[in-house]
Amino acid sequence: MKLNIARSAHDRVLEHCAATPTVEACGLLIGRSGHVERAVPTPNRARNPAIAFEIDPSALFAAIRDERAGKYRVLGHFHSHPCGEAQPSDRDREMALDVGRYWIIVASGRMAAWQVVAPGQFAAVELCLASDGSEGQ
């Protein structure tokens, strides 16, 4: 499996995660099938953001409304692991219910992509950097 990500979206994810090194940064991945065109940072509304993340519900609902209006698709989300690896944690597996959604996880400046293939199960995805406005190679 492969996921293309526009350079601007890639850079925005890394910048947002670097800006909050002691808490899990998070946001939405917006685009079309197999191509992330935009990354939308959102506030982390988790009770303990140092070890968990929760996408801000108002940002998520706004993105879903835009998706229903045909503007774009919510492909998944990103978050960071300030003290972990760029791979799904046990907590991530508990939260992974939307089959087909992509998860990008950032740790120590490293970005990795995953796709939910069954509730609680991920498959690694090749993350390919693409020029803005292109499908990538």
> Is residue 29 assigned to a domain?
yes
> Quick check: helix, strand or coil at residue 74?
strand
The neighbour count for residue 44, using CB atoms within 10 Å, is 21
CATH number of the domain enclosing 33 = 3.40.140.10
> Is residue 20 assigned to a domain?
yes
pLDDT of residue 65: 92
Residue partners of 70: CB distance under 8 A and separation at least 6: none
Binning pLDDT at 50, 70 and 90, where does residue 133 land?
low
> For residue range 74-85, what is the model confidence (pLDDT) as tens digits?
999 999 999 989
> Is residue 48 assigned to a domain?
yes
Structural domain range at position 74: 2-130
8 Å CB contact between 42 and 56: yes
> Is residue 137 assigned to a domain?
no
> Quick check: helix, strand or coil at residue 12?
helix
Strands (E), the chain: 2-6, 26-32, 35-42, 73-80, 102-107, 110-118, 121-130
With a cut of 80, say whether residue 100 has pLDDT above it.
Answer: yes
Distance CA 87, CA 43 (A): 21
> Is residue 78 assigned to a domain?
yes
How many domains, the chain? 1
Give me 81's structure tokens.
Answer: 């692991």
